[in-house]
Chains A and B, each alone.
Chain A
Amino acid sequence: MKLMVSVKRVVDYNVRIQVKPDGSGVVTDGVKMSMNPFDEIAMEEALRIKEAGNAEEIIAVTIGEQKAQEQLRTALAMGADRAIHVEVDEDIQPLTAARVLKALADKEQPGMVLLGKQAIDDDQGQTGQMLAALWDRPQATFASKVDLDGQKAKVTREVDAGLETIEVDLPAVVTTDLRLNEPRYVKLPDIMKAKKKPIDTTSLADLGVEAAPGLKVTNTAPPPERQGGKKVESVDELVSELKNRGLI
């Protein structure tokens, strides 16, 4: 079977983000960009499924600006066989992303679509579930373990109560959580090899996808500042402070 992995270009998770003073968004110019870490885990899981002999081909997909091809190159260097770049100039809504992935799923017929449980930029956490709904297929979100068994998969999910295991028929959508695996480091020869792998470019129009009406972001502000308080010199002083504040 084929596996499709969706990856998103985001501000690197180590960057301390800056809000623009005019409230129009977050500074991204000149900021290090990377593959969304949860998508990296999805990519790694796809590789492991293929290496275990349960898949023949991995297709990496991204929806984004021209530069998002850098993240596709990373996916190809990790081991994806080919890539599809759906070029858009503006940020798109999760529902639009889901429509795009649905159109590609119809075309490529993957046995599983893997993607991060959320992107660490807008933190919306919707695309996987929306794709599953539009595709009329199962969703296994927040996956921490994926076991394939023929035309089914058993997926353990990280839920608030602990770990829930569900069984889904394939094809299915799996969104990945932090514990699923540790993504491999890309080695230089792999980066060289990745340059020769194909990236197809397409567009919403080519795929016949209409952009969904969006959420209008009218302001972006830094969170309320929190000032550090006082230092106490001893445990005794700490205890009396806690008592004075009625916390103990």
Chain B
Amino acid sequence: MAKVLLIADHDGENLNPTTPKAVACAADFSPEALDVAVFVSGDNGVADQAAKLDGVSRVLRIDNPANEHCLAAMLAPQIVKMAADYTHVLVAGSTFGKDLMARVAALLGVLQVSDIMKVESDYVFQRPIYAGNAITTVEAPSDQVLCGTVRAASYQAAGEGNSASVEDISVDAELPDHTRFVSVETHKSDRPDLQTAPRVVSGGRGVGSGENFDIIYKLADKINAGVGASRAAVDAGYVPNDMQVGQTGKIIAPELYIAVGISGAIQHWAGIKDAGTIVAINKDEEAPIFEVADLGLVADLFDAVPELEQKLG
């Protein structure tokens, strides 16, 4: 029977939306215990949010000034101490989780399974390689702690009907002083978060300029969607890189994805494979995106997008 320790990803106030998805993955082990570790500096309500997630047995709050910025170098030695009581240590495959878990695994001297997309048994998983262009089934040794990151796009968030206990614990680990937080520059936006929005509108090179992206934003705002972009649009300098959807950007799984002026290179496709319904608007009827879109409209985007915006809502 699995005993799972899941490390919460949060920004000091809110759980990252990938964490409830990782909880759903952890619940697939049918674990006898599923504990969520919340590393914080000062109580900020994050532990209570984690306690609501279905499937969670206990929330362990580790309150320490050293945990303020959740640096991997600080957290990893603490997790190593905690890991002795568990068979599995998991985290969502966010940038936080990816940075952290491999450090933990190496300190424990064990391997890591990255991007778990399906749990077949406690030690058998599916994970993507080549940006999702192939899916492997992997078997990990069962005689050591299993460290893993969860591919959040493969899971629905756990429900919030639970009220698990929150316990404060202290972990006695030697922490390094070689890594120091300096600053974080967050991209403030009133729009839904690209990574988790149920609807996303993306623009590609066909949009033609940064100014022209206005029509993408307007359509997105009309349907309360997040906004993304293809790598070509990012490389052309129309929009910042954090909007990039694709193999080298964000991998997303919205219910509705509207691709505007995007040809549909493999690189982009890798980021939207798991979307519910894909709509493509492109004036080139040969564009590869139409081979995979559920609904395709061959049209000039500068006519079609404003018209669509007007007729929706």
Report A's interface with B, CB cutoff 8 A: 11, 16-17, 19, 26, 93-95, 98, 120-134, 136-139, 141-142, 154, 157-169, 172, 178-179, 212-223, 226-236, 238-239, 241-242, 245, 247-248
Contacts and interface: CB of A to CB of B under 8 A. Distances in A.
B139 A228 contact: no
Main DSSP-derived SS at the B contact region? mixed
B234 to A, nearest CB: 9
A123 B241 contact: no
Interface of B: 11, 16, 71-73, 76, 94-96, 98-107, 109-115, 124, 128-141, 144, 176, 178-187, 195, 199, 223, 241-242, 247-248, 255-256, 266, 273, 276-277, 279, 290-299, 304, 307-308, 311-313
Given A139-B99, A160-B95, A239-B311, A133 B296 contact: no
B272 to A, nearest CB: 10
Contact of B277 (A159, A216, A245): A245
A176 B98 CA distance: 14
A17 B103 contact: no
Contacts of A163: 184-185
A93 B99 CA distance: 17
B311 A217 contact: no
Given A164-B181, A215-B113, A238-B297, 19 more contacts: A11-B130, A17-B130, A124-B114, A126-B105, A128-B102, A133-B76, A133-B104, A133-B106, A160-B195, A162-B184, A166-B180, A168-B178, A214-B111, A218-B124, A228-B290, A228-B293, A242-B256, A242-B312, A245-B277
A163 B294 CA distance: 35
A117 B111 CA distance: 17
B102 A219 contact: no
> Which of B110, B176, B293, B295 counts the most A-chain CB atoms under 10 A from its CB?
B295
Contacts of B290: 228, 231
